[in-house]
Amino acid sequence: MSQSNSLKGRKVILHDMCLRDGMHAKREQISVEQMVKVASALDAAGVPYIQVTHGAGLGGNSLQHGFAPHSNEEYISAVAAQMKQAKVSVLLIPGLGTMKELQSAYDCGARSVHVATHCTEADTSPQHIAFARKLGMDTSGFLMMAHLNDAAGIARQGKLMESYGAQTVYVTDSAGFMLPEDVKARIGALREVLNPETEIGFHGHHNLGMGIANSIAAIEAGASCIDGSAAGLGAGAGNTPLEVFAAVCERMGIETGVDLFKLMDVAEDIIVPMMEHVVRVDRESLTLGYAGVYSTFLLHSKRASERFGVPARDILVELGRKKMIGGQEDMILDTAMTMAKERGLLKSA
């Protein structure tokens, strides 16, 4: 237990994702009223950062990713107005969201942003990171699907994001595929190359049940920002359940500054009753983690499966084999149709 003791007194910043990543698990259908209720409760529990908006972030409202009942501006404005201590953050994926939308999010009260690229494509983010800094936002570079790049590669990509102005660089386990040693290798490599004042973050998914263990491993390797989600509400088997993580931190003496019991109450009394399905490791979300597939693909694959008669697990494994990445949700239906044709379930055009 010497490792646990070595983390005693470490300060970690918690960042809740249930109102952004959780939108995926709700087919983007969370109302403004629900967002305000959840965010206010998280704020009262002392969670310092709360991410809101469409699951795919700024620019996310689309046929590709689904339409939320309200605009991102409506969500951000409504939540930001009620925050007593928490900062509202947003997600921006270049190629989907633009600087115009970031300006608009800032105007509505967002003060922190994850600028996200695939783990090998950091050089699509310089203009967005620089613009976020110009606005004075807390700016993170967010390297998605981090299992698809090795530790040295992640270090190079993180260094690029730092050079554009990112104050924090995230290792993002979008597929919930990584094991603690994978997390440690990547975060350790980042810690070696980044400036000492640049912080490191970890964003986990729970598809292999490793959300907590991976987040602890991240802290051991030098991370100080951890994304999680109350009751785990998020894509796939969900994010690292934030209240569980906070409890583990308390046991280990890691300082998060949150009120654990209040956070537990948010999860149990507010989030769980909102769930349309129990967010857990089931056959399909386990397949995501096992095959290294983007967690958001879960519900899309289930729908494609119902429509074309190809099992969701088969579709997900094929998407993993074809190395499809976040944002390619259109390829789920396309792949299902191609597989259905091969299996004689659909006539060729």
User: Is residue 4 within the footprint of other proteins (CB under 8 A)?
Assistant: no
Shortest reach from residue 270's CB to other proteins, in Å: 33
147, amino acid identity = H
Binder of other proteins out of 107, 323, 342, 345 (CB under 8 A): 323
182 marked as binding residue: no
User: Is residue 325 within the footprint of other proteins (CB under 8 A)?
Assistant: yes
Nearer to other proteins, 128 or 206 (CB): 128
The partner residues of 228 in beta bridges, in order of sequence, read 16
Binder of other proteins out of 15, 26, 114, 118 (CB under 8 A): 118
Shortest reach from residue 349's CB to other proteins, in Å: 7
Shortest reach from residue 310's CB to other proteins, in Å: 13
Active site residue 24: yes
User: Is residue 347 within the footprint of other proteins (CB under 8 A)?
Assistant: no
User: Is residue 148 within the footprint of other proteins (CB under 8 A)?
Assistant: yes
314 marked as binding residue: no
Give the number of residues in contact with other proteins, rule: CB under 8 A. 31
Q: Long-range contacts for 212-216 (Cβ within 8 Å, ≥24 apart)?
A: 212/240, 212/241, 212/244, 212/245, 212/248, 213/180, 214/173, 214/178, 214/179, 214/180, 214/183, 214/240, 215/240, 215/245, 216/7, 216/180, 216/248, 216/252
Nearer to other proteins, 38 or 96 (CB): 96
Binder of other proteins out of 37, 44, 103, 126 (CB under 8 A): 126
174 marked as binding residue: yes
Only one of the segments 32-40, 118-126, 200-208, 270-278 lies at the binding site for other proteins (rule: CB under 8 A); that segment is 118-126
* Secondary structure, 3-state, the chain: CHHHHHCCCCECEEEEEEECHHHHHCCCCCCHHHHHHHHHHHHHCCCCEEEECCCCCCCCCECCCECCCCCHHHHHHHHHHHCCCCEEEEEECECCECHHHHHHHHHCCCCEEEEEEECCCHHHCHHHHHHHHHHCCEEEEEEECHHHCCHHHHHHHHHHHHHHCCCEEEEECCCCCCCHHHHHHHHHHHHHHCCCCCEEEEECECCCCCHHHHHHHHHHHCCCEEEEEHHHCCCCCCECEHHHHHHHHHHHCCECCCCHHHHHHHHHHHHHHHCCCCCCCCHHHHHHHHHCCCCCHHHHHHHHHHHHCCCHHHHHHHHHHCCCCCCCCHHHHHHHHHHHHHCCCCCCC
Nearer to other proteins, 258 or 319 (CB): 319
Nearer to other proteins, 69 or 95 (CB): 95
Binder of other proteins out of 37, 120, 262, 290 (CB under 8 A): 120
Nearer to other proteins, 76 or 331 (CB): 331
User: Is residue 111 within the footprint of other proteins (CB under 8 A)?
Assistant: no
21 marked as binding residue: yes
User: Is residue 268 within the footprint of other proteins (CB under 8 A)?
Assistant: no
Nearer to other proteins, 1 or 63 (CB): 63
Shortest reach from residue 132's CB to other proteins, in Å: 13
| Binding site, annotated residues | 20-21, 174, 203, 205, 294
Instruction: Give the residue numbers of the binding site for Mn(2+).
Output: 21, 203, 205
Residues interacting with other proteins, by CB under 8 A? Answer: 62-64, 94-96, 98-100, 118, 120-121, 123-124, 126-128, 148, 322-325, 327-328, 330-331, 333-334, 337-338, 349
As annotated, the active-site residues are: 24
Could you tell me which residues are annotated as the binding site for substrate?
20-21, 174, 203, 294
